[in-house]
Structure 1
Amino acid sequence: DRNEKNERHGKGRALLPNRDVYDGNYMFGKRDGQGVYKFKNKLAKNARYIGNYVQGKKQGFGKFIYPDGSRYEGNWVDDLKEGQGKYFYVNGDVYSGDWSKGLRHGKGTYTYANGTKY
């Protein structure tokens, strides 16, 4: 749907010029609310984000699946991992804990695939 300014508004699907695809909610032309963003470009092929957006940025709870199969599930602020979250590595290791400005920061537990915790 589009509003009177011809901006995307409400639920919709967009096929972007770089071939990425977004299915979800819009408000005044920006991704806002729940949505799924699928990356199609060569560098991030098959990566996707499933979660909440506010004014076009990842915000609140979301899951990001990376091209290598690793994934992050947790909180986002201003497009960056922030607060509580878990990162699942391809080799089976898991980090669960605090994040700040996109990086592991503060208290957390790193669990190796063999069960050893650090």
Structure 2
Amino acid sequence: MFCSSNAGARAASEWQHARSGPTRGAERASWISGSETSDERKKTFLSSTDMICIYACIVEIRYGGGTYRGRCQGGVPEGKGRLISDGLMGAFNLYDGLWRYGKRSGLGTLFHSNGNVYHGTWRDDLIHGKVWYYFHSGDRWFANFWKGKANGEGRFYAKDGSIFFGHFQNGWRHGESLLADLHILLNKRGT
């Protein structure tokens, strides 16, 4: 158990007692049917706050070259959490999102120190799935990723209004692409 509070320890012992008691079935049946008073229910079953403390305590630990604040299991991040780097682990300052077995997995947002923001999905600590990358210059890029590399459709929206449509394979631009420059199109319309 990773939650060290007294409430968590008390809740764990009450939960074990409620699970192993000989009248568990009868108590549960009367609780479902509503024949007990609310005080009796509280004695038999855990409150929602006790359950949250057992399985979802928020902790703050040193992890991966930074400070992690969020849910943990077995000493590693698990569930929702935020990692703030010490500046030693790379170009990003903050990751806020989902974790699984100590790796970024699921939806998350990565804030780089230069102002760029990545928002998308992760799998085993790699960018994986649909991704939006917002550059500090105002440009933005949408792409599909597979195991950390751009694969499939990608679109780049420049701050000046031009749009690039293309395909990627193994992280590199691949095949045909199209660049739509709105300034050229608007200038041709005006003349």
Higher relative contact order (CA 8 A, sep 6+): 1
Paired position in structure 2 for 1:25: 98
Give identity over the alignment, percent. 23
Distance 1:102 1:80 in 2: 4
Q: Gaps spanning 5+ residues in structure 2: where?
A: 1-70, 186-191
User: Does residue 104 in structure 1 map to residue 173 in structure 2?
Assistant: yes
Cα shift at 1:107: 2.7
1:17-56 CA-to-partner distances (Å, cap 9, x unmatched) read: 126111100011110000001012xxxx110100000001
> Aligned partners of 2:136, 2:172: CA distance in 1, in Å?
19
Report the aligned-residue RMSD: 1.6
Whose radius of gyration is greater, 1 or 2?
2
Of 59, 63, 67 in structure 1, the residue corresponding to residue 136 of structure 2 is: 67
Aligned residues: 111
Uncovered stretches (5+) of structure 1, i.e. residues with no partner: none
TM-score (norm. length: structure 1): 0.84
Superposed counterparts of 1:1-118, under 5 Å:
1-4=71-74, 6-18=75-87, 20-40=93-113, 45-114=114-183, 116=185
- AA matched with 2:180: T
Aligned partners of 1:76, 1:98: CA distance in 2, in Å? 11
1:69-96 Cα distance to aligned partner (Å, 9 max, x none): 2211120122222111101123322111
Tell me how far 1:115 sits from its aligned partner.
5.4
Structure 1: distance between partners of 2:84 and 2:128: 22
User: What displacement does 1:103 show?
Assistant: 2.6
- For residues 93 and 181 of structure 2, what CA distance do their matches in structure 1 show? 34
Q: What one-letter code is carried by the residue in structure 2 that aligns with 1:23? A: D
- Structure in which a larger fraction of residues adopt helix: 2
TM-score norm. by structure 2 comes to: 0.54
Secondary structure of 2:137's match? Answer: coil
Q: In 2, Cα distance between the equivalents of 1:103 and 1:16?
A: 29
